Amino acid sequence: MPEGPSMVFLKEKLSPFIGQKVIEVNGDSPKLAIKKLLNLKITDIKTYGKEIFICFQEISVRIHLMLFGSYLINSKKDGKLKLGLKLKEGEINFYACNVSLITEPLDSLYDWSVDVMNDKWDREKAKNKLKDISDSLICDALLDQHIFAGVGNKLKDELLFDAKIHPESLVGKVPEKKIKAIFDIVVDKSFEYLKWDKEGRPDGFLKVHKQDLCPVHNIKLSSKTLGKTKRKTEFCEICQKLYK
């Protein structure tokens, strides 16, 4: 599943289409009346966590790539096309994803202050929300899109390793200085992830996620399905301290 940095990267790829008019619409989304997009001009591209929006003057297309979604720019492939937009100077095609049309202003529906890659991300708001879920596991808290929009399983594993926090630690038991460290790392790691994406995902970025050995102690990493989210988590029992 793509995470926030991948959506920001996609936003950058789609930016050249801003100002262009849709001259053809295709895709298996008839119930969404996607034909409404014909002859409309793209005014902006926005992201929120794992979602991306193609914005027009009075309507926005929300796209979530889910687990197996994909896209192609200026190219096509065999497969079930969910949304295809042909523009004056190129085309955008989305496959196996969730597509919806939004007529309300995005600012009235989305709280940009919880998106960790947005300039409006609010650490204090995140801190207060964590206090409300003090009995939750930290691995679940980091995947809460109402607190850390854009963080997925890769980022969760990697930032917990960097912060030296065991994923089964209780939020309320994690020391305040460690919570502050999480806030720093979640932003830094997200932008490192973006750079990694742009470079074609070379080896070396992922230290623990889906890895076998701890890069510090060279011992086998633990791999467990944890928390209410039931997500596979890799971590080091030595490097990462358990707070309970």
Strands 51-55 and 60-64, bridge-based pairing = antiparallel
Q: Are the beta carbons of 231 and 209 closer than 8 angstroms?
A: no
The pLDDT score that the predictor gives to residue 168 is 98
Which of 109, 134, 163 is the last residue in one of the domains? 109
The pLDDT score that the predictor gives to residue 235 is 98
Count CB atoms within 10 A of the CB of residue 148: 27
Side chain identity at 113, as an amino acid letter? S
For 7-51, the pLDDT digits (tens) are 999 999 999 999 999 999 998 865 557 788 999 999 999 999 999
Radius of gyration of the chain measured on its C-alpha atoms: 20
Q: Bridge partners of 153?
A: none
Domain containing residue 38: CATH number: 3.20.190.10
Which of 62, 81, 109 is the last residue in one of the domains? 109
160's tokens: 């917990």
Whether residues 166 and 182 share a domain: the answer is yes
Which of 43, 75, 109 is the last residue in one of the domains? 109
For 176-207, the pLDDT digits (tens) are 999 999 999 999 999 999 999 999 999 999 99
Boundaries of domain holding 158: 113-235
SS3 222: strand
Q: Are the beta carbons of 114 and 146 closer than 8 angstroms?
A: yes
Instruction: Grade residue 149 by pLDDT with cuts at 50, 70 and 90.
Output: very high
Q: Are the beta carbons of 101 and 130 closer than 8 angstroms?
A: no
Instruction: Grade residue 79 by pLDDT with cuts at 50, 70 and 90.
Output: confident
The pLDDT score that the predictor gives to residue 80 is 86
